[in-house]
Amino acid sequence: MDSTITETKRSYKKIDIEPFYVGASSATISGDGSIMATAVMEDVVVINRDTNEVVHRIQGEDTVTSLKLSPDGRFLAVVLQSQLLKIFSLEQSEFIKNFKLSAACYISAVDATSTLFAFGLTDELETG
């Protein structure tokens, strides 16, 4: 049996790491997997997964309870604890629609054509 010990030298590159998920809402990923959005407390961070760059940092005003990216990666639905639904356009880098929901929302979905969002509210109704 060979008792030779080989030492491996390693060097590590220093990189800054920032949080990409802190909160109660799930992360959401575009249909092709290139874009991910996640809540960091009241804020939302949108990341390009191909380049690992933050492409949008959306300042929030309340706790995010649900997030959903459209499969085409053009729209992001953000639902807040205050029962406010906001639709963010990733192309325009701004919110394009706001809705007041009748109850809190913790689950959301979007159809394959990226034309219809659906939200499960705690009052047992669905809004689309």
Each residue's pLDDT tens digit, 46-66: 999 998 899 999 998 888 989
Model confidence pLDDT, tens digit, residues 76-126? 999 998 999 999 999 999 999 999 998 888 889 999 999 999 988 887 655
Look up the CATH number of the domain holding residue 98: 2.40.128.630
Q: Which of 27, 55, 18, 25 is nearest to 41 (CA)?
A: 25
Task: Tell whether 10 is covered by a domain.
Answer: no
Task: Tell whether 9 is covered by a domain.
Answer: no
Q: Which of 87, 86, 69 is nearest to 29 (CA)?
A: 69
Task: Tell whether 56 is covered by a domain.
Answer: yes
Task: Tell whether 91 is covered by a domain.
Answer: yes
Q: How many domains would you assign to the chain?
A: 1
Range of the domain at 79: 28-127
